[in-house]
Amino acid sequence: MAYVSIESDDRMEEGPEGLQFQSFLGTDARASNPSGGASSRSNFDTEGTARKPSGFWTIEYYQPYFDVDTKTVLRRCYSTLLPTSRNYLSTTLTPSADLYGPFWTLTTLIFSLFVFSSLAASIAAYMSDPEASSPTDPIEYNFTLLSTAAGIVYAYGLGVPVLLWLGLRYLGVGEWSVIEAIAVWGYGQFVWIPIALLCGVLPFAIARWSLCGIAFLVSGFFLVANVYPILASADAKAVRLLIILLVVLHAGIALCIKVLFFSYYIKQIGPKDPIEAPIPGTPTNPVTGRSFW
């Protein structure tokens, strides 16, 4: 074995400052990941080429907002019933808001109002005159109630947050996104689903009014606690007055749900008094027994 003598380089004795290191990585690799971390696989297709960002008119644009599991959706639903839900945006809707839960919450509420309203009408008719009807009789459905419920629930649960977000953007308030606005309103209506069930099986007017009042207070507190901080972040103090309009609108929705879907009552009739049980889908006045329209 032969040994070769190598003279030391004077630059090596200058210390670390005299050393120079050269990177053999291409400039494209650094440009594609400026943060220095590993690049996300979602930004590349199977062939390794970069994907183009999808437009808002494509399905791929909304796909991440529906990528959520059932456990997360259920947790975000029942969290709206807790008094500690005032920081819902920062605590529960993390790491990001979704559209899957709000869509199914509103859709379930629509069918709940339709089914349990028809059930309430059948119970009221049977208890008004048990001899004229039987518990085994099929329930009569008025499908006009379904379209009415869909119009009210979707207009309030989807239309109101979008309009509010657009109005706040016009006023220069950008503390939340339109997805977060829809998520807050959609999940906020979850309380009406069990309330609709209870109103359908309890044939007492005072119980239904009390239940609708509870739903109004619970959902109203949730919306005010999470929307008012957004309004308060505006420079103009008058923007905070929008919360009054939202509370009035929310009270109107609660009243519409009670009057349109759960105004059936048990009528005590005499031996010669004809049965005037309300037709499913026709709200009646508990005092006069006549239809509201």
Q: What separation in angstroms does the CA of 41 have from each of 48, 49, 60, 66, 94?
A: 9, 10, 15, 19, 22
Q: Is 4 exposed, middle or buried (0-12, 13-18, 19+ CB in 10 A)?
A: exposed
Which tokens go with 147?
A: 């379209």
What is the extent of the structural domain holding 248? 78-261
Mean pLDDT of the chain: 76
The full DSSP string for 11-38 is GGGG-GGG------S-HHHHHH-TTSSP
> Model pTM?
0.70
260 or 293, higher pLDDT: 260
The answer to whether position 20 is within a domain reads: no
- Is residue 153 in a domain? yes
pLDDT in tens, 195-218: 999 998 888 889 999 999 999 999
pLDDT digits (tens, 9 = 90+) for 152-195: 999 999 999 999 999 999 888 877 889 999 999 999 999 999 99
User: Does residue 269 fall inside a structural domain?
Assistant: no
Q: Is residue 224 part of a domain?
A: yes
- Picking from 129, 131, 145, 143, the residue whose alpha carbon sits closest to that of residue 263 is 145
Would you say residue 28 lies in a domain?
Answer: no
User: How large a percentage of the chain has pLDDT more than 90?
Assistant: 42
277 within some domain: no
Burial of 43 (0-12, 13-18, 19+ CB in 10 A): exposed
Task: Give dist(CA 106, CA 111) in Å, integer.
Answer: 9
**Helix, strand or coil, per DSSP, at residue 204:** coil
Determine the Cα–Cα distance for residues 237 and 143; give it in Å rounded to an integer: 45
pLDDT on residue 7: 53
Within a domain: residue 55?
no
Please give the Cα distance from 152 to 109 (Å, whole number). 11
Number of domains in the chain: 1
Is 157 within a domain? yes
